[in-house]
Structure 1
Amino acid sequence: MTDTPQGALDELATHARRGFPQLLAARDRTEHDLDDLRRRLRGTPCDPASSVVMMGSWGRRERTTGSDDDYLVLVDGERPDDGAPAVEPQVSRLDGLLGMGEAKPGTQGIFGQQVFVGPMVRHIGLEEDGNANLTQRMLLLLESVPVVGREAYRRSLEQVVDGYLAGEAKDYRPPRFLLNDLIRYWRTICVDFAGKARADEQKWGMRNAKLRLNRKLLFAGGLIPVLHCHLHRRDEQRAFLLDALQAPPTDRLAHAFLRHDAIDEGVRALGAYDRWLGLLGDPEMRAHLNGLTRESAAGDPRFREVRRLAKEFEQGLLALLFETNLSPLAREFVLF
């Protein structure tokens, strides 16, 4: 095994009887749509410090029918003073250019924003590190892909990684500052889900399914590279993380299953996730899940199938973390 996860999903798929047809088709679809999006944005004014970054299913390379167009205009630097020239591209310029169908950015104030990397990094863990700042920073690390301004995007990503490692990294140890913030983000996702469910049960079925599968994939896909920092000296960890986090989360997980001789567990886990992605790409299934409340989901046969796939996925992840040679590391750094 190489130290880079790029291409690991294809390798693991050779060990699966049916492969991972939904995941690989979604990856091809995403790459095609990214190329189309880059053509759409060609000629859009863009400052050298700016990048247009797609997140969510774009960043995971998992676009299906009905996927949202979650994006940020990411600016490498500080927010300009009042009266300074506007930073390009302005979000208003992207209206109509980022729409692939009817999908729009999420409505929680996270996406469709111009975000400056300086405050994103400077406020890590402080009072100003609100839900939006934490979410934007974590999604930049875990599931993002640039369509405009690749060099500015790379500099921004480097600043975030440096913000976590500066003064914290140790030889052959996972960086605890990054690890703890990653765990904080996962717990924030869980708490936010419960809060939204209490306030409004609309779309409970879809939100619950994504929490069990897509969000858990996101967390695990970040956790594994952070734990794998124990294989590197502190002066190697920056380059290792930057390389690993550029691969889709499914590649990161597939690489870990292969590396830790848990191929059967990996095939079952990502096979379950593959089947979920097929369900997610079915418009009728999406509409059905969006219409389920907590009460109606309890006896719903299609939601029971989603729960079964989620359990199979979770069991594979647990086996990777606690039944391979990752176990001592996971027990020391994840549990306490």
Structure 2
Amino acid sequence: MGVEMGFFSPGLYSELLARMELSVEEVPALFSAANRSASAIDRARKMICSYVDQHPKHIRDIDDIVAFGSLARYELTPNSDLDYLTISENPESSEIPDAIINNIRRTMVTGSELKKPGTTGIFGKSINPKELISNIGLQRDTNEILTRRVLFLEESVSLMYPEKHRDILWSIVNTYLDARERKGQTPRYLLNDIIRYWRTIAIDYQAKIEGNKPKALRHVKLLIPRKLCFISSLAPLYLHHLDVEKFDSEPNFLVDSYLEPSSIRLMRLLTKSGTNNSLQQRIVKTLDFFIEKSSDAMWRKNIEEDIFSNQFNHSPSGPYWEIRERSRQLHKDLTELLFSDNYRSFTEKYMVI
């Protein structure tokens, strides 16, 4: 098992933060989550490597185990899920044993047990990677396939064979690039698919709302970390457009970008924007604030109670409404970012219509 491009680098975090006149001490939750994620990934890889050595026949058809979600974004908290997919050309006969996954969930984060994948059916399955690139668009491109493909770009990390993970990313990226008329063009095929996924999860959020069932945390996740992950997924395309002459190998640039944690992509976008430091700092600190709060089980409980008890109050207050106000400011800041002098032309040409 090799070391994957984009693996967590404390020095890179510090360098990018310094360009915004921020220090790691000013975003402690973000930096702590990144360190926690890196340690958890390293621990999982060692456990899987040991299992492979001891039980080679059990995993002979498995090409990789890929994690998603907060772990892959390097925003892991003790309350996170372990969302994963097993990658194989023979998915029907290559399920990873539950015992190894359960052991990983219980030991990745000291003193905590990560939750099992949710009940949507997106994760905790074995898939053939070919389905991600052979079904882009039209009826065969189901919500499941779209979600898995875009999340492979936005937030995925290998727990087994990083070089195979990179190969899959390379195939996905090149499928989008091959649809262009000429090299150097902005890959609208890729851009539109990322936008389509963002709109899909926004619609799905509304469709899943049922009466008095918990919804506050899902709403806040949509408005802050998922929105920022969406913006970070656009970042390589903005930066490519900003200085296309610098990128001798577009596939390598895009693949390397998508192998980086989403927060790194976001900070690269911020530091190249030409916007003032205070705006850049607010955006990063909002992510830090969410990670800090979502690490607290009591806060997660309180926001669910708060959203229902104050929803008809004209001047609501409480933990949900506090972070809701931050999300509104974040939306304003991101709008200013995307319409800044350096990014306005891309936004107007590719994002508005």
TM-score (norm 1): 0.89
Please report how far the alpha carbon of residue 266 of structure 1 lies from its aligned counterpart in structure 2 after TM superposition. Answer: 1.1
Give a deviation string over 1:212-247, Cα, whole Å, max 9, x none. 001101100101112323233696221110011111
Please report how far the alpha carbon of residue 309 of structure 1 lies from its aligned counterpart in structure 2 after TM superposition. Answer: 1.9
Number of aligned residues: 325
Q: Distance in 1 between matches of 2:100 and 2:311?
A: 38
1:321 is matched with 338
Q: 1:20 aligns with which of 21, 27, 44?
A: 27
2:109 is matched with none
1:126 is matched with 138
Q: Distance in 2 between matches of 1:147 and 1:297?
A: 42
1:1-336 paired onto structure 2 within 5 Å: 9-14=13-18, 15-16=21-22, 19-41=26-48, 42-44=50-52, 45=56, 46-47=59-60, 50-75=63-88, 77=89, 79=90, 86-87=93-94, 90=96, 92=98, 94-100=100-106, 101-168=113-180, 170-197=182-209, 199-230=210-241, 231-232=243-244, 236-262=249-275, 263-291=277-305, 296-297=310-311, 299-336=316-353
The answer (yes or no) to whether the contact 2:293–2:299 under 8 Å persists in 1 is: yes
Aligned pair in 2 of structure 1 residues 294, 245: CA closer, same or farther (>3 Å)?
farther
Aligned pair in 2 of structure 1 residues 95, 316: CA closer, same or farther (>3 Å)?
same
- Aligned partner of 1:277: which letter? I
Could you list the runs of 5+ residues in structure 2 that have no partner in the other structure?
A: 1-5, 107-112
Give a deviation string over 1:59-82, Cα, whole Å, max 9, x none. 10001121111111123x4x57x8
- Aligned partner of 2:230: which letter? F
Answer with 284-293 or 130-139: which moved more.
284-293
Please report how far the alpha carbon of residue 200 of structure 1 lies from its aligned counterpart in structure 2 after TM superposition. Answer: 4.9
The answer (yes or no) to whether the contact 2:286–2:326 under 8 Å persists in 1 is: yes
Q: Distance in 2 between matches of 1:246 and 1:277?
A: 21
Give a deviation string over 1:267-320, Cα, whole Å, max 9, x none. 111112111211111111012234455564563411111112212322222222
SS at match of 1:97: helix
Q: Distance in 2 between matches of 1:169 and 1:149?
A: 34
Q: Distance in 1 between matches of 2:177 and 2:100?
A: 34
Please report how far the alpha carbon of residue 154 of structure 1 lies from its aligned counterpart in structure 2 after TM superposition. Answer: 1.4
The answer (yes or no) to whether the contact 2:304–2:320 under 8 Å persists in 1 is: no
Q: Distance in 2 between matches of 1:159 and 1:235?
A: 18
Q: Distance in 2 between matches of 1:228 and 1:110?
A: 31
The answer (yes or no) to whether the contact 2:307–2:320 under 8 Å persists in 1 is: no
Aligned pair in 2 of structure 1 residues 207, 58: CA closer, same or farther (>3 Å)?
same
- Percent of pairs with identical residues: 28
- Aligned partner of 1:16: which letter? L
Give a deviation string over 1:16-70, Cα, whole Å, max 9, x none. 2752111001001111111221232222343476111111001100011211111
Q: Distance in 1 between matches of 2:84 and 2:17?
A: 30
SS at match of 1:96: helix
- Aligned partner of 2:239: which letter? H
Could you list the runs of 5+ residues in structure 1 that have no partner in the other structure?
A: none
Q: Distance in 2 between matches of 1:214 and 1:135?
A: 16
The answer (yes or no) to whether the contact 1:72–1:112 under 8 Å persists in 2 is: yes
Answer with 22-31 or 200-209: which moved more.
200-209
Answer with 10-19 or 147-156: which moved more.
10-19
The answer (yes or no) to whether the contact 2:72–2:157 under 8 Å persists in 1 is: yes
Aligned pair in 2 of structure 1 residues 177, 301: CA closer, same or farther (>3 Å)?
same
The answer (yes or no) to whether the contact 2:274–2:342 under 8 Å persists in 1 is: no
The answer (yes or no) to whether the contact 1:168–1:175 under 8 Å persists in 2 is: yes
RMSD of the alignment, in Å?
2.4
